[in-house]
Amino acid sequence: MSHDNPPSTEAEKPRSRHFVQDEIDADLAAGKNEGRVQTRFPPEPNGYLHLGHAKSICLNFGLAREFGGKCNLRFDDTNPSKEEQEYVDSIQADVAWLGFQWDALFYASDFFEELYQYAEHLIRTGFAYVDDLTPDQVSEYRGSLDKPGKPSPFRERAPAESLDLFRRMRAGEFPDGARTLRAKIDMSSPNPNLRDPVLYRILRAHHHRTGDAWCIYPMYDFAHGQCDALEKITHSICTLEFEIHRPLYDWFLDHLPVPSRPRQIEFARLNVTYTVLSKRKLLELVKSNIVAGWDDPRMPTLSGMRRRGYTPAALRAFCDTIGVARFNSTVDKLVLENAVRDDLNKTALRVMAVLNPLKVTVENFPEGKVEWIDAVNNPEDATAGTRPLPFSRTVWIDRDDFREDPPKGYFRLSPGKEVRLRYAYCIVCKEVRRDARGEIVELVCTYDPQSARGATSDGRKVKGVIHWVSAEHAMEAPLRLYDHLFAAEHPDDVPEGVDWKANLNPKSLEIVSGAKLEASLKDAKPGTQFQFERVGYFVADAVDSRPGAPVFNRTATLRDTWAKLEKRG
Ligand code: ATP
Ligand code: MG
């Protein structure tokens, strides 16, 4: 017996259609919805969008695009105490940034009147009643997984009486929490969602759109499917935890005069190692000042990742790579980092920056002379052109690129050894100078004037290539080196009674202040990405950069170990 080996990398995996596409194919083949495909992305405006939402956005908008259908943006704003206009604005900006344009924009609150009328319909038809139990009593009566619920004493209330009470709930006659409207389904159902779920609660909270017009608000389950039906959504795609709500979703559609019949399909939510994807928890990080805001570059929010230097193309490619399935799993954060590296490798301009500078004096290069070299902006993109790069007698190199006692196979600079300064000349280290404390402060070198553009005077091979910056021309800028916000692979996997934030990485941000950068970076436009050669991908911070004084965020380190890089010419 032989087994096929599983594909060893994502790239080798044969691209196949995922199960949601198959379901839609089947619906179309069966002639459902007059051949229409319409999806929606339904965020609750109670926080900023994160990477998990990107998966949902790519899926919903992607399906609409693929099937020639439509995708709406719907704000699920039925919980006024947690929702804000700031979140509505950021969500729209983030969806657009990711590269998607919604066909129509709706708010669940647009349908508050229709939803209210649907509730009256259920009361009149005997499928809903006003309950006077307190919220605590309601949950006590509901039972548990292994214990059936028991009926409320108000369950058999006459429809006319419930209707009257419901209207008075709307009119504001009762205090918050005094009564609820409940569907009359099945108190002994094995599915707790069907044990007479609450449809409306009394809540005096200012709503970001409807203001104080309402003092009763529909519950999520009562709003969601009916909004889908009113918008004529055909496929209502949500995450797996809603699978157990599907019978209720369908029950409402069966019992209400809705204008269309949407269908709920569940998929696995995205989990990523070292990352927390929950608006509630991300909000806690913001509120407790553990991060500098929703757009802190360490946050897995779309605004944080944008500020970190992630591109929409990289995030879309990531969502494409991870696919869509019906079982929960956790994606290795490396997959995400590789997606941004792959994209930035194609597009980012190459520049040089020395993080830990060591002075090099090229003693046979004339004092005061400046040679302007044509440096390639991006070897992966011929249209990116070249820039003039100044070379002079004094340059900065990185301390890590010099070893007084080099191990075997070390191709960077060491006493008596030769190395190439990228785009420029080969230099040999002649002398090491130290300060009074014995620390190395300067290397005196000579250069081979015939070693420009990869040549050498006698054709000898110089293996090592290092980056450098002309001291006379260098500028300084703060660099922020970011690492995982959490030190554990599964951050919220903490023992009972332990704060979920216990796994925060104390070293998630290191600020490098003495770095020497190529002068061309002075005018880096905020939001522009660069590859600092041999160091990593960086972006000019969009918030803290000032004209002529950029601040750089490290997006990702280079995948390449430097051993691989030093072979490049
Ligand atoms: P959170 O728990 O972070 O608040 P949520 O599901 O409550 O997430 P919503 O604003 O209700 O957030 O989500 C909008 C849409 O995004 C929903 O359809 C939801 O299923 C989807 N979504 C949210 N988180 C993820 C995730 N991690 N992976 C995939 N889809 C997600
Ligand atoms: Mg939610």
Minimal-distance CA residue to ligand 1 atom 24: 52
- pLDDT over threshold 50, residue 439: yes
Does the beta carbon of 256 sit less than 6 angstroms from any atom of ligand 1? no
Mean pLDDT of the chain: 94
Q: What is the pLDDT of residue 15?
A: 56
> What are the E-state strand segments in 473-535?
475-476, 479-482, 509-512, 516-517, 529-532
CA of 443 from ligand 1 middle (Å) equals 56
Structure-derived torsion over alpha carbons of residues 545, 548, 553, 558, reported in degrees to the nearest 10: 160
Q: What is the pLDDT of residue 148?
A: 87
- pLDDT over threshold 80, residue 480: yes
Q: What is the pLDDT of residue 423?
A: 95
What percent of the chain lies above the pLDDT cut of 90? 93
- pLDDT over threshold 60, residue 8: no
Q: Can you give the length of the chain in residues?
A: 569
Mean pLDDT of 408-431: 96
C-beta separation of 185 from 245 below 8 A? no
What percent of the chain lies above the pLDDT cut of 70? 96
CA of 43 from ligand 1 middle (Å) equals 7
CA distance 565 to 569: 9
Phi-psi region of 87 (alpha: psi -120 to 50; beta: other; left: phi over 0): alpha
340-359 pLDDT, tens digit per residue, is 999 999 999 999 999 999 99
C-beta separation of 123 from 181 below 8 A? yes
Does the beta carbon of 43 sit less than 6 angstroms from any atom of ligand 1? yes
- pLDDT over threshold 90, residue 11: no
Which bound ligand lies closest to the C-alpha atom of 47?
A: 1
DSSP code per residue over 490-504: STT---TTS-GGGGB
Mean pLDDT of 240-263: 98
Best CA proximity match to 299, nearest among 177, 310, 361, 131: 310
CA of 41 from ligand 2 middle (Å) equals 12
Phi and psi at 505, nearest 5°, equal -90, 115
For residue 279, indicate whether it is catalytic: yes
C-beta separation of 534 from 421 below 8 A? no
Quick one: which atom of ligand 1 is closest to the CA of 42?
A: 14
Helix %, strand %, coil % for the chain, to 5? 30, 25, 45
Give the residue, 561 or 59, on which the prediction is more confident: 59
Span of 63-67, 198-202, 562-566 with lowest mean pLDDT? 562-566
Phi-psi region of 309 (alpha: psi -120 to 50; beta: other; left: phi over 0): left
Best CA proximity match to 67, nearest among 99, 95, 32, 98: 32
C-beta separation of 130 from 153 below 8 A? no
Residue 375 to residues 243, 378, 385, 538: CA-CA distances in angstroms? 57, 9, 9, 19
Minimal-distance CA residue to ligand 1 atom 22: 53
- pLDDT over threshold 70, residue 213: yes
Mean pLDDT of 488-515: 95
Minimal-distance CA residue to ligand 1 atom 2: 278
Minimal-distance CA residue to ligand 1 atom 18: 238
> CA 160: distance to chain centroid?
50
CA distance 182 to 121: 13
Q: What is the pLDDT of residue 284?
A: 97
CA of 239 from ligand 2 middle (Å) equals 10
Best CA proximity match to 518, nearest among 495, 491, 538: 538
Residue 176 to residues 172, 203, 415: CA-CA distances in angstroms? 9, 5, 80
- pLDDT over threshold 90, residue 36: yes
Q: What is the pLDDT of residue 333?
A: 95
Quick one: which atom of ligand 1 is closest to the CA of 270?
A: 28
C-beta separation of 412 from 358 below 8 A? no
Mean pLDDT of 149-175: 98
CA of 407 from ligand 1 middle (Å) equals 51
- Paired tokens of 305: 């990742």
Q: Report the residue among 239, 246, 272, 283 best suited for mutation to probe ligand 1: largest number of ligand atoms under 8 A from its CB.
A: 239
CA distance 293 to 543: 12
CA distance 235 to 213: 31
Element (DSSP H or E) covering residue 330:
strand 329-331
- Name the active-site residue from 70, 157, 184, 279: 279
Best CA proximity match to 296, nearest among 502, 508, 95: 508
Minimal-distance CA residue to ligand 1 atom 26: 52
- Paired tokens of 2: 């032989």
In the block, tokens 């010419």 appear at 569
- Name the active-site residue from 32, 170, 261, 269: 269
- pLDDT over threshold 60, residue 1: no
Mean pLDDT of 286-305: 98
**pLDDT band at residue 54, thresholds of 50, 70 and 90?**
very high
- pLDDT over threshold 50, residue 387: yes
- Paired tokens of 269: 């939510």
pTM: 0.93
Mean pLDDT of 102-106: 98
Residue 522 to residues 395, 469, 482: CA-CA distances in angstroms? 18, 14, 22
Residue 168 to residues 119, 130, 153, 160: CA-CA distances in angstroms? 14, 11, 20, 12
CA of 11 from ligand 1 middle (Å) equals 27
CA distance 230 to 434: 77
CA distance 467 to 357: 11
Q: What is the pLDDT of residue 566?
A: 44
> What are the E-state strand segments in 21-162?
38-41, 70-75, 105-107, 128-131
Which amino acid type is present at position 541? Answer: D
Does the beta carbon of 82 sit less than 6 angstroms from any atom of ligand 1? no
Rg (CA), the chain: 31
For residue 525, indicate whether it is catalytic: no
> CA 525: distance to chain centroid?
23
Does the beta carbon of 277 sit less than 6 angstroms from any atom of ligand 1? yes
The domains of the chain, with CATH numbers, are 125-219 (3.90.800.10), 349-478+513-568 (2.40.240.10)
In a 10 Å sphere around its CB, with 0-12 CB exposed, 13-18 middle and 19+ buried, how is residue 111 labelled?
Answer: buried
CA distance 230 to 236: 12
- pLDDT over threshold 60, residue 186: yes
Mean pLDDT of 525-535: 97
- pLDDT over threshold 50, residue 489: yes
